[in-house]
Amino acid sequence: MASLRSKVLRFAIKHIAARNLTAQISPQAQRARLEKASLPFWRSFKLSRRTVTANGVPAEWVVAENAEENKALLYLHGGAYTFGSPKTHGDLVSRISHFCALEVLIIDYRLAPEHPFPAALEDATNAYQWLLEQGYLPENIIIAGDSAGGGLTVATLINLREQGVALPAAGVCLSPWTDLCCEGDSQRTHEQLDPFLSSQWLRDMAEHYIQSNDPRNPLISPLYGDLKGLPPLLIQVGSDEVLLDDSVRLEQQALEDGVDVTLNVYQDMWHVWQIFAAIMPEAKEALIEIADFTSNKISEATYAKNEKGAELVN
């Protein structure tokens, strides 16, 4: 059963989204409004923050006091490829750093419509390669993201694989947008359930990012890609999302392609509820699952690398 806090937040989100996420407002105006409405850092733990440039990409390190050195999570924020920033997702990534005990690098990738595909993908790829250049080992890196950032997480993994770059230990997708054709059945069946997103708004935002490109390009809509060889994936999605089928179909494709994938559908939850981890028990539960998953997959990747090294020596 949904908590009382989630019910109150659900009501508030429905009204905030109705006022701000609409085609009648330009992407730039939506961007400014949501930046202004960003959650503060409601933390009860110590952390440090510093800005960096990762291969030309503006970024911010958000590091909780308990974070292990030399283990990093590259975070790709959501926002339909048209808004979002380290500021809008600052509280969420600070809690991810704390729960996962990882250093978090959140990038301020270029946004559409000013910078359509492949700008976001290029920035995410360059930031990952920058982490490798800083000495972080692939088996000690996680790539994670929410919404558009969740889809971008999978697209980045595909892009890295195609470029022959060593892949990270795992990917984590929070309510990922993996089909910019917007063809999932839940786009229709969950229209009245979802308090946050509407199918038409998603289609409008998709056009800003895709522009003249093919929406079925796997680097735009990773649902249509070959996922073979990708690292383990954790997918979290709410049962009431119009994007539910983007996660369900991603799991199916991953299983068909032999990828280790875990899908968890959180009942009565909406799009990226994890961002309310400071005040909502369901969001905290999701972060605990992410922490367990990332810890296990980094350990497994490290063990596998050591085993392979031992075999080569022998």
Beta-bridge mates of residue 211: none
Backbone angles phi, psi at 75, to 5 degrees: -105, 130
| Catalytic site positions | 147, 241, 271
**Distance (Å, rounded) from C-alpha 205 to C-alpha 211?**
10
236: amino acid identity, one letter? Q
Please count the other Cβ atoms lying within 10 Å of the Cβ belonging to residue 192.
Answer: 8
* Residues 6 or more apart whose Cβ sits within 8 Å of residue 228: 257, 258, 259
**Distance (Å, rounded) from C-alpha 124 to C-alpha 18?**
30
Q: Do 49 and 61 meet the contact criterion of CB atoms below 8 Å apart?
A: yes
Residue 307's Cβ-side half-sphere holds a number of Cα atoms within 13 Å equal to 6
* Residues 6 or more apart whose Cβ sits within 8 Å of residue 4: none
The DSSP 8-state label assigned to residue 123 in this structure reads H
